[in-house]
Amino acid sequence: MSSLTPQQEPETRGYELDPPADGDEHAYREYEPIHPRGRLGDLGRKLWAPIAAVGLLVLKFKTAILALFKLKILATSASMLVSIAAYAWIWGWRFAVGFVFLLLIHELGHVFELRRQGIPASAPLFIPFLGAVVGMKQMPHNVWKEAQVALAGPIVGSLAAFGLWAAGEALGSELLIALAFTGFFLNLFNLIPVSPLDGGRAVAALHPALWAVGLVLLLGLTILRPNFILILVLVIGGMEVWRRWRSRNDPGVAEYYAIETWQRAVVAVTYVGLAAVLAFAMSATHIERTF
């Protein structure tokens, strides 16, 4: 044991010690030495508290968490968050949240229609800077059903954009109006008649020659505004159009494309009418970026 010297005064806990009486060996009984704690130890204790709390929550709600994994909600949510973070880096978090919301509504339109037809469909999976995709276990029964699935996305997505437009006008928010414009553009772009875009799947119910028109339009747009996404869609679209065109006369494929005249008319009116409405809405909501 070390003894105290005049240069080593004892540390106290906020009060002064009475001077020791002669022979009083308990004079410093209230003194308790302070043991130094390492920084790593303090950090470990701070980190352990939230980790323990999360662990308890997991144990308590493990059934619900397993159900979320089963429904693949976590995968969708995680991909949404990653996409929001990626878009926020360019446009800011508020616009990023609105943009991903528009993508979600668009994809849910496809999901609802697929499930209405009894076709198993996955939850939307978001891919930063490429949009979102929905997986389906099988193709629809014919091009009439395929066109319904294809057009459901732009129709529902356009309704969401109109809702944002109305809210923006009511609140005087240029941000909401700009989001509405983006939603109209997003859905109009998807109507270009080339697969894998929705327009390519929709015009499959009309005439295969429209795929060539879509490729020409997409090629022109790529030349005017070259970027990776347009090039990727052009390559994938060209391969898909070639595959479909080459197999158009196969017995099973011919039956897939055989639908009633009135069904083709409904697809044509819906497709052209929706494209016209979206073009008008884009013109009406276009504003200079000031946010």
Give the pLDDT confidence score for residue 281 in this predicted structure.
Answer: 96
Q: In one letter, which amino acid is 43?
A: L
Confidence band for 258, pLDDT divided at 50, 70 and 90: confident
Give the pLDDT confidence score for residue 75 in this predicted structure.
Answer: 67
Cis upstream peptide for 154 (omega within 30°): no
Give the pLDDT confidence score for residue 251 in this predicted structure.
Answer: 73
198/180 Cα distance (integer angstroms): 19
Alpha-carbon dihedral sign for residues 189, 94, 177, 77: positive
Mean pLDDT of the region 270-281: 96
Whether 157 and 186 have beta carbons less than 8 Å apart is answered as yes
Q: What is the pLDDT of residues 22-67, one digit of tens each?
A: 555 544 445 444 444 454 455 445 444 444 544 454 445 445 444 4
For 121, phi then psi, to 5°, come to -135, 145
Give the pLDDT confidence score for residue 150 in this predicted structure.
Answer: 95
Whether 192 and 218 have beta carbons less than 8 Å apart is answered as yes
- DSSP letter for each residue of 113-148: HHHHTT--BPPPEEETTTEEE--BSS--SSHHHHHH
Highest mean pLDDT among 129-143, 178-192, 200-214: 178-192
Angle at 41 between CA 36 and CA 47, to 5 degrees: 145
Residue 157 has pLDDT above 50, yes or no: yes
Query: Strand pairing partners for 125?
Result: 133
State the average pLDDT for the chain. Answer: 78
16/122 Cα distance (integer angstroms): 72
Dmax (CA) of the chain: 116
Q: How many CB atoms lie within 10 A of CB 265?
A: 12
- DSSP letter for each residue of 80-99: HHHHHHHHHHHH-HHHHHHH
Least confident of 98-107, 188-197, 226-235, 242-251: 242-251
- DSSP letter for each residue of 210-248: HHHHHHHHHHHHHHHS--HHHHHHHHHHHHHHHHHHHTT
Residue 71 has pLDDT above 60, yes or no: no
Q: How many CB atoms lie within 10 A of CB 220?
A: 10
The Cα-based distances of 194 to 191, 221, 263 in angstroms read 8, 13, 20
207/193 Cα distance (integer angstroms): 11
Give the position of tokens 């470990």.
44
Give the pLDDT confidence score for residue 164 in this predicted structure.
Answer: 96
The Cα-based distances of 104 to 84, 111, 153, 169, 186 in angstroms read 12, 10, 10, 23, 12
| CB burial of residue 150 (10 Å; 0-12, 13-18, 19+) | buried
